[in-house]
Amino acid sequence: MKVHIDSRRIAPYLFLLPFLIFFAIFRLWPIIWSFLISFFQLDDGDISGFIGMSNYITIFHDPTFIKAIWNTLYFVVVYNVIMIILAIMLAVFCNSSIIGGKKAYRAVFFSPIAMSLPVVAVVFDLIFARNIGFITSLLGMFGIEYNYRIFASMTGAMWAVILMRVWRGSGYYCAYFLAGLTSIPEELYESAMIDGANAFQQFRKITLPLLKPMLIFVIIMSTILSFQLFDEPWILTQGGPANSTLTLQMYLYQTSFLKQDFSKGAAVSYVMTLLMLAASIVSVSRQKESSSGRK
């Protein structure tokens, strides 16, 4: 019996096959393997025995891990609120018809994201330096002595990290909101002006509701990236003082690579994944509730 194979139907799958093979080897299998080893004990990289949920129980009994969770959640909430508000304001500013040189402003606002994270961290370290920093020099011009050691303060260190991330990320997310604003028909604003709506009413009744899809997308993306915070606090504070800037990503790095406890590190990574998923769901549901409430 002769089997006829339609080359036109099989060709797309053949083109996809190299990608699927690489995806399975370098993406799918590491995910499955890391999940499996989180339930085992590893000795010198070899599986020595099944220990069930012991790795998960151990990390939740570690005060440092709990501190890392609270630090990360605090950063995610505060950073996202400040960044989203600022990004929307920048987008509205760049989209305003009364502002000239819009392309120049967009380039300036977007440029921080193109800078290397270590370079940005070093620059901010110099800005907040007590003796030679920019703030010290600026206040000195007005005869004000600056003696506050921001990276020695538990609250100040976290806020320095938040401000640096906001400065770097707000222009990037401004580009997303700007894309959403440009898709809003100008006729809606003209009709609102004829009806006597002021600028704030137009923003609340037209801009925000129509920006909702983009806002949800930005919230999800920003939340996921916020949970992966590592470079800034690692360079600026190494997680200090007193673990006040220690994040889950830093805890994962210390557990997996500094302590060489890969099974426990795998457990930490899956706890991070669940927290990211939960935070994204809560953020989106809250946004939907607030949007329906406004209606």
User: Tell me, what CATH number does 249's domain have?
Assistant: 1.10.3720.10
Domain encompassing residue 19: 7-50
Whether 92 and 228 map to the same domain: the answer is yes
Q: Does residue 120 sit in the same domain as residue 11?
A: no
Q: Is 80 found in the same domain as 44?
A: no
Number of alpha carbons in the 13 Å side-chain half-sphere of residue 243: 17
Whether 94 and 33 map to the same domain: the answer is no
> How many Å apart are CA 67 and CA 60, to the nearest integer?
10
Split into its structural domains, the chain has a count of 2
**Residue 277: its pLDDT value, please?**
85
In terms of domains, do 119 and 208 share one?
yes
Instruction: State whether 23 and 90 are in the same domain.
Output: no
- Work out the angle between the directed axes of helices 262-294 and 212-227 (0-180°, nearest 10): 160
Question: Both 92 and 226 in a single domain?
Answer: yes
Q: What are phi and psi of 125, to 5 degrees?
A: -60, -40
Long-range contact list for 107-114, CB < 8 A, 24+ apart? 108/171, 109/170, 109/171, 109/174, 110/171, 110/172, 110/174, 110/175, 111/171, 112/167, 112/168, 112/169, 112/171, 112/172, 113/168, 113/169, 113/171, 113/172
Note whether residue 2 is domain-resident.
Answer: no
Tell me the C-alpha distance between 243 and 251, whole Å: 10
Tell me whether residue 1 is in a domain: no
- Do 245 and 287 fall within a single domain? yes
* Residue 101 DSSP code: -
Question: Is the domain of 34 the same as that of 176?
Answer: no
From the number of C-beta atoms within 10 Å of its C-beta (0-12, 13-18, 19+), residue 265 rates as: buried
pLDDT by residue for the chain (295 residues), tens digit each? 555 666 677 877 888 888 989 989 988 898 888 888 888 887 766 677 788 888 899 899 999 999 999 999 999 999 999 999 999 988 888 887 777 777 777 787 888 888 888 888 888 877 777 666 666 666 666 665 566 677 777 888 888 889 888 988 888 898 889 888 888 888 888 888 888 878 788 888 888 888 888 888 888 888 888 888 888 888 888 888 888 899 999 999 998 888 888 888 889 999 988 888 888 787 777 666 655 555 5
Q: Give the H/E segment covering residue 41.
A: strand 40-43
Q: In sequence order, what are the residues at sequence separation of 6 or more whose Cβ sits closer than 8 angstroms to the Cβ of residue 134?
A: 126, 127
Assess whether 185 and 229 both reside in one domain. Answer: yes
Judged by DSSP in three states, 50 sits in: strand
Residues 15 and 145 in one domain: no
Domain match, 14 and 147 both: no
